[in-house]
Amino acid sequence: MQIITTKSDLQAVVKACKGAKKTIGLVPTMGALHAGHASLVKNAVKDNDVCFVSVFVNPTQFNNKEDLAKYPRNIERDAQLLQSIGAQYVFAPTPEEMYSAEEMNTTFEFDFAGLDKVMEGKMRPGHFNGVVQVVSRLFYLVQPDKAYFGEKDFQQLAIIHHMVERSSMAGTFGALQIIDCPIVREESGLALSSRNERLSAEEKETALAISKTLFASLKWAKEADATVAGVQKRVIDAINAVEGLEVEYYEIVDQKTLLPTNTFANAIGCVTVYCGPVRLIDNIKY
């Protein structure tokens, strides 16, 4: 496995792969890799001739500098995991390598068609501008045939699909396919997340109430008198009743538009919960 740190070296490797007519899979990550990331990489290795994984904590998608500073980083451990599951190339640049000083200090502009105005976008202004900025740059540099993303970040995934649909019409990324991969959970049900590393053993036990409540809500939604508003309130109340947890939002929305819905058909429930100081996200499809 080769670790690449500069854009010029990356483009040279990509050019060689393209010249050899090899298919390329890309898994964009911010490091602190876990079994959820590994599942994406394994799919990319299986589906393509070569697999590139980016390990880059993107500063432009953090609107909280303290959160950026605390984000776990361990490139040595990440590289060991990636090598063990067959990734051929790791792109691990510095922020200065990825962006000019002007780009670091200027908000990336993009037409999100309203997908950035709800849920995470509402709570974290500018977050998705940074996501689209880095992902579009990685697509340009790596020119993948397929790119793999987890459904835990469902709103992010919807926005990436939107970006590719818009860009593909202009031929920017060719026939790039976005591959949606299911949430990977611990046996307990807790959604795997790099942020879980910041939870104490006690907090991790407390956080189990998030997924347990979401799975319970599938049964609540099937009750004869169930309404979307009623289930939404029931989920919020149940999680908030657990000491140490505080719901920031729980929205039941249409999977395509991310707009509020009055029906469970094609609906997804997206939640953000503070467990102590750690902000956790999860979702459930109805």
Instruction: Provide mean pLDDT across the span 222-243.
Output: 98
76-100: b (≥16 Cβ within 10 Å) or e: eebbebbeebebbbbbbbeeeebbe
Residue 171 binned pLDDT confidence (cut-offs 50, 70, 90): low
Query: Which residue's structure tokens are 């037409």?
Result: 111
Q: Single out the catalytic residue among 34, 37, 127, 161.
A: 37
Instruction: Provide mean pLDDT across the span 226-235.
Output: 98
Question: Residue 125 CB: number of other CB atoms within 10 A?
Answer: 12
Q: What is the pLDDT of residue 169?
A: 47
Q: Please report, rounded to a whole number, the percentage of residues in the chain having pLDDT higher than 90.
A: 84
Query: Which two tokens mark 76?
Result: 């040595």
Instruction: Provide mean pLDDT across the span 86-112.
Output: 93
Q: What is the pLDDT of residue 276?
A: 95
Tens digit of each residue's pLDDT (9 = 90 or more) over 28-64: 999 989 999 999 999 999 999 999 999 999 999 987 7
State yes or no: pLDDT of 161 exceeds 70: yes
> How high is the mean pLDDT of the chain?
94
User: How many angstroms separate the Cα of 165 from the Cα of each of 118, 144, 171, 187, 254?
Assistant: 20, 15, 10, 36, 19
Q: Annotated catalytic, 34?
A: no
